[in-house]
Structure 1
């Protein structure tokens, strides 16, 4: 099987101490509706196959441990500062589940050699990096997360918990539902009026890529430090899992990690 080749953000590739990637569905062991590199254990796929996919993903990034989260479309942010928290929650590809799994939709850490993984199938995964403070974050932002401004909350956590300066932070927005496919027929009940300016003039379709850029900008992240991959998951089911398109489907991953400089 060919080596995995995750998508990367150009502006993050400039930092040698950083490892990151957004994995397409290509190159995994899952079959049928989950065909490819499904890393989601809650999808209905064979857990042994999913764990095999996860191990393959780790190996491709030269990582030995990562954190997976219990994502619930909420606003909780896991802040990992201690080695104990990292060790207790780390998935290392061997044996059973870790002793602790954070219920969170975003995570922030300064620990080295610890990957943060967000699983998605239409929602955005947004990776964040402050090269001055050597702090990373990964955010699960679906439409509920956007409405609750989980991106702003995560920037806030980076500032208050690690002393980050927003103008130093780089952000990357993964493939997700694009403005071409983010349809909300009941938007008047689901989406606050303050977001309606992001709606297509004639149709109930929303531009959540721009919403995320604006939310990051409102918290001080410079626009030139934000990169959007601009790939719609519903349009590109050949590359990505899409719940909107297929319902029964897998999850692809966005990963970010700090590496020790002497490695």
Structure 2
């Protein structure tokens, strides 16, 4: 992952997704450089803060607008199939933890602060997906559910998918004291002797199990709790502020403008 700045916002991009000419994406940090004198942060946690930042975030990526989800830590997948679906979802965020679309210009967005944002692109069938994967979503395999929906609705071959796993709580900090009652035993192999889980590896393995090629998976290897200057962290700050991760298909006229 590398970082860049546009519209006063600092955001990360994956090398593998950046090499795909038909898709835009960004993982926004908490940094806001609109003013050198007034402290500001890029927060997407509330309706008001999202409204203030969504236009700038859309301009960064070239999206017409951004669809956010009402995230419920489940396995529901929302599909945007038409412009009408898109406009409805912008106005009323779907209750889901993953969103897929083949509609050019639609920015698919998830909010995170320690949870993983997993971004997917199918360059063959022309589809993109954004997944919010907290620990509950991980153990329920929201990643596998999203890919299965892409297969059913878009004819996606998982071997064609390009995937990025964004900054999130790393194996250095993902301690679960009550893991025996929270996390199924089949995931305990991802735990160290201090009850810290490697959810990065869990997501990588779930992508591979769903048919994504390991060579097409990029992991940021950045822990949000360990990097408070760049990222909000619920574990680190006990705050409700959120970053946004965005992905979508470029319109033909934007394929070179925003690369």
1:2, distance to aligned residue in structure 2 (A): 6.5
1:109, distance to aligned residue in structure 2 (A): 0.7
- Scaled by the length of structure 2, the TM-score of the pair is 0.91
Contact 2:55 2:65 in 1 (8 A): no
C-alpha distance in 2, partners of 1:238/1:253?
A: 16
Specify the alignment match of 1:93 in structure 2.
Answer: none
Specify the alignment match of 2:16 in structure 1.
Answer: 11
Contact 2:190 2:198 in 1 (8 A): yes
CA RMSD across the alignment: 1.8
Specify the alignment match of 1:132 in structure 2.
Answer: 124
2:167 paired residue among 169, 172, 175: 175
- Scaled by the length of structure 1, the TM-score of the pair is 0.89
1:107-149 Cα distance to aligned partner (Å, 9 max, x none): 1110110000000000000000010001100000000000100
Specify the alignment match of 1:215 in structure 2.
Answer: 206
C-alpha distance in 1, partners of 2:40/2:169?
A: 20
2:109 paired residue among 112, 117, 122: 117
1:72 match: secondary structure: coil
Residue-pair matches, total: 246
Contact 2:8 2:34 in 1 (8 A): no
Specify the alignment match of 1:25 in structure 2.
Answer: 30
Greater strand share, 1 or 2? 2
1:107 match: secondary structure: strand
1:140 match: secondary structure: strand
Consecutive aligned runs of 4 or more in structure 1 exceeding 6 Å deviation: none
Specify the alignment match of 1:79 in structure 2.
Answer: 79
1:209-257 Cα distance to aligned partner (Å, 9 max, x none): 0000000100100101100101000111110000001112410011001
C-alpha distance in 1, partners of 2:166/2:241?
A: 16
Specify the alignment match of 1:241 in structure 2.
Answer: 232
1:39, distance to aligned residue in structure 2 (A): 1.1
C-alpha distance in 1, partners of 2:189/2:30?
A: 33
1:258 paired residue among 242, 249, 253: 249
1:50, distance to aligned residue in structure 2 (A): 4.2
Specify the alignment match of 1:60 in structure 2.
Answer: 60
